[in-house]
Structure 1
Amino acid sequence: MTRKGYRQCSKCGRNRSEKFFQGERGRICASCKRGKTRIYNRTSHLLETYGLTDEDYQALFTAQGGACAICKGRRTYNLQVDHCHKSEAIRGLLCKACNKGILRSARDNPATLRSAASYLETYPADQVLGRRYTPNGPK
């Protein structure tokens, strides 16, 4: 039995204030409706933008072990679909940092990314100055 001015949501089962329901006969609370809309919006975005169904996304996600294809990090948010802007080919799923940071700043140029990897593996300053550290010292 629910209190006066409250209703039970038919989806989540919670007793919510009537202000959470649309109209006098609304049966699903606003929170549940918003969640349903969010899923629909994501699904339609994947299909319209990349031609991927939810099943395609899940297959790619599973094949990548549920992690970003570059940094292998697991995220609490949905990974972004990465695609080539020249050929429009879908490459894989990336976290925001890799998709927006690494690839965008490298302008999708493999040579730039190889150069960055080489830079991180062998420091050019070592050849000129020898190994030096900041005043805070090595860590």
Structure 2
Amino acid sequence: MTEVTPLPESPVKECSRCRQTKVRSDFHKCTARRDGLNSWCKECAREYQRAKPNGVCQVDGCQRVTTMGSRKCDPCYAGAPPLAQAHRTRGMPRYDDAGNRLCSDCLEYLAVAEFGVHSRVPDGLSRFCRPCARVKNVRKKYGLTIAEAEKMWASPCNICGFFADGEMVIDHCHDSGGVRGTLCHPCNVSIGHFRDDPALLDKAAQYLRRFPRGQASQDPPEQTEVRHAPRARGWSTHKRRKSICP
């Protein structure tokens, strides 16, 4: 492979558009070029950008007109919703003088304890506070608003009727993603172990009816065929097990 020899650094450079010789500070940086500077000067690049036709803002839900060929309109860059996440916190420090952290969604400085853990963020904390993260998770995972989710969390279990504030979960189909109802944690884990298969639940019910509560069979258990259970998506178990159900 041929090595690229860098050009000797010169205090001036000629713009390839206006053909004027200017100092290096009049050019934008460009690491792809051998001299590290753009071929056009800043003034020519600015004029070319302004001459671009207007377009439509590409932020989801925004139909404002853009200028100078920009992908986003001025309100979206300035912070008016709808706005891309990367531009909402532009220029805002991550921590204030009191040590509170900035939430990238509500744009408020809150205590560090109000944020969850995130290993991919440099400081190890989530960019969103816990209430904002809960709203985003409900919308992304279940397709519900926070009001609809709060109503389901305030409902008793659809299987056993148990209710405890703060312990109810939203059950959904792992194949289609549709919400099915509200369950308590034991019921939700139980149907996950049965791989959401009604046939296995019926067999389990028949098995329990053979032995009333407090009694056990004195006969040796019947031998059934042993086969590997399929690894279904959403099967809430910590390891692969063998099923004794034919």
**Band the TM-score falls in, shorter-chain normalisation:** 0.5 to 0.7
Q: More relative contact order in 1 or in 2 (CA 8 Å, sep 6+)?
A: 1
Q: Quote the residue 1:30 is aligned against.
A: 111
Q: Quote the residue 2:210 is aligned against.
A: 122
User: Structure 2-normalised TM-score?
Assistant: 0.35
Name whichever of 91-100 and 45-54 sits farther off.
91-100
Corresponding residue SS for 2:157:
coil
Higher helix share: 1
Report if aligned partners of 2:194, 2:201 keep a CA contact under 8 Å in 1. yes
- Structure 2 CA distance, aligned partners of 1:112 and 1:69? 19
| 1:85 counterpart = 2:174 | yes
- Structure 1 CA distance, aligned partners of 2:152 and 2:165? 17
Q: Of 172, 187, 191, which aligns to 1:98? A: 187
| 1:75 counterpart = 2:160 | no
CA 1:119 to 1:31, structure 2 compared with 1: closer, same or farther past 3 Å? same
Corresponding residue SS for 1:71:
coil
Q: Quote the residue 2:136 is aligned against.
A: 44
Report if aligned partners of 2:142, 2:178 keep a CA contact under 8 Å in 1. no
Task: Report Cα offsets for 1:61-80 as digits up to 9, x if no partner.
Answer: 45xxx322222222342422
RMSD: 3.4
Q: Quote the residue 1:137 is aligned against.
A: none
Higher strand share: 2
- Which letter does structure 2 place at the counterpart of 1:71? C
- Structure 1 CA distance, aligned partners of 2:109 and 2:177? 40
Deviation at 1:110, TM superposition (A): 0.7
Structure 2: gaps of 5 or more residues? 1-94, 101-107, 117-127, 221-246
- Structure 1 CA distance, aligned partners of 2:201 and 2:166? 25
Structure 1: gaps of 5 or more residues? 1-20, 130-139
Count of residues paired in the alignment = 105
Name whichever of 73-82 and 25-34 sits farther off.
25-34
| 1:59 counterpart = 2:166 | no
User: Structure 1-normalised TM-score?
Assistant: 0.57
- Which letter does structure 2 place at the counterpart of 1:103? I
| 1:112 counterpart = 2:186 | no
Corresponding residue SS for 1:93:
strand
CA 1:111 to 1:32, structure 2 compared with 1: closer, same or farther past 3 Å? same
- Structure 2 CA distance, aligned partners of 1:25 and 1:81? 35
- Which letter does structure 2 place at the counterpart of 1:109? D
